[in-house]
Amino acid sequence: MDTLLNAEERELYETVKEFADTVVAPAAYQYDTERRLPIEIIHQMGDLGLFGLPFPEEVGGRGKDYVQLCLAVEALGRVDQSIGVTLEAGVGLGIMPIFRYGTDAQRQQWLPELVAGRALAGFGLTEARAGSDAGATETVARLDGDEWVIDGSKQFITNSGTPITSLVTVTAVTNQTERPDGTVKKELSSIIVPSGTPGFTVGESYDKVGWHTSDTHPLAFDGVRVPAGNLLGERGRGYANFLQSLDEGRIAFAALATGAAQGCLEEAVRYAKERNVFGTNIGSHQHVAFTIAKMQARVQQARLCWHDAARKMVAGKPFKMEASIAKMVAGDAAMENARAATQVFGGYGFLNENAVARHYRDAKVLEIGEGTTEVQLMVISRELGLAA
């Protein structure tokens, strides 16, 4: 880390790492068991300024950059992936679209609470038949006078049903035209739907394999009416605008996965030094030592990849391929390190009270969320000019 970070970045990482170790980690098992997002911890993260890291001071942010946001996500992901992804999605999917594409009125209405961590927002893109294939979106929105009327449903939407969720931005089909070949071209737009709007229903939380503390729900829209002024950005640019957030989100997701891989490494090193079998600690056995050495290598690879992508992004250079590489490499590292750490712990690694057991359950989604590994391979292939 010393060669990757400047003094300011190192100070931020150490601050969030201490917060993660002293506040988040001791409560992680309790909230995982209760399957609820600890709002009190989210507010403390807001007090630390974490939700405002990449935003300018004039909107209540800290005036930092995306690298520092990713450092915070990595530090949190070491001890609790659910808390890390709440920050990652809260900023990248909740706040960033409004900051980047919102009108002055929309910014003034929504940003102060979101940037301060007193509120959360979600982004509703995925549907039962639409995700990576956004052209299959079935949720529709039509103008009726000065209101949008929205009908449809979304699924797997993060931060959509917490007690402090203030809004969800949804993609919807706002027009359809038939092409000469008979296929249909859909116009996709993004629309802000405030929580509590009549007809907007947040379904029961999913019974997930992992990320039990992260808030994830299906959403339904039945004749939901919102002002025409709730259109976010240019009409017909809803998905195109989201793609930029998606590329950026893959970097933060890679940082989260790196944190998970690092957390598994730290736990495995600690346990290998403490656990004695046949008169010696298990870390003195070559197989265990080599297993952990490979874990270290994976962490370093993942960290270098996300830093490369993030620093290119901050410098204004193309980063699409690097973001996909980082997301894929780091997701693999988290999954492999979680498996290895669980094996090092043996039976104790199969107990949910153990951090490595929770990482083992949580890590799989790091190969799925923000675009599956297969999607990343497709993106990388296309960036290389290959047909995929």
Catalytic residues: 370
DSSP state of 92: I
How far apart, in whole angstroms, are the C-alpha atoms of residue 342 and residue 345?
Answer: 5
**HSE of 365, CA atoms in CB hemisphere, 13 A:** 20
Residue 316: CB partners within 8 Å, gap ≥ 6?
none
Residue 387: CB partners within 8 Å, gap ≥ 6?
381
How far apart, in whole angstroms, are the C-alpha atoms of residue 191 and residue 135?
Answer: 17
How far apart, in whole angstroms, are the C-alpha atoms of residue 16 and residue 74?
Answer: 9
How many other CB atoms are found less than 10 A from the CB of residue 162? 23
Residue reference for tokens 């270290």: 296
Residues in the chain: 388
- The number of helix segments (H) and strand segments (E) in the chain equals 12, 10
Angle between helices 238-274 and 286-314 (to 10 degrees): 150
Question: Which residue type, as a one-letter code, is found at position 123?
Answer: F
Of 191, 103, 95, nearest in space to 139 by CA: 191
DSSP state of 22: I
Angle between helices 25-34 and 355-363 (to 10 degrees): 60
3-state SS class at 260:
helix
How far apart, in whole angstroms, are the C-alpha atoms of residue 372 and residue 385?
Answer: 20
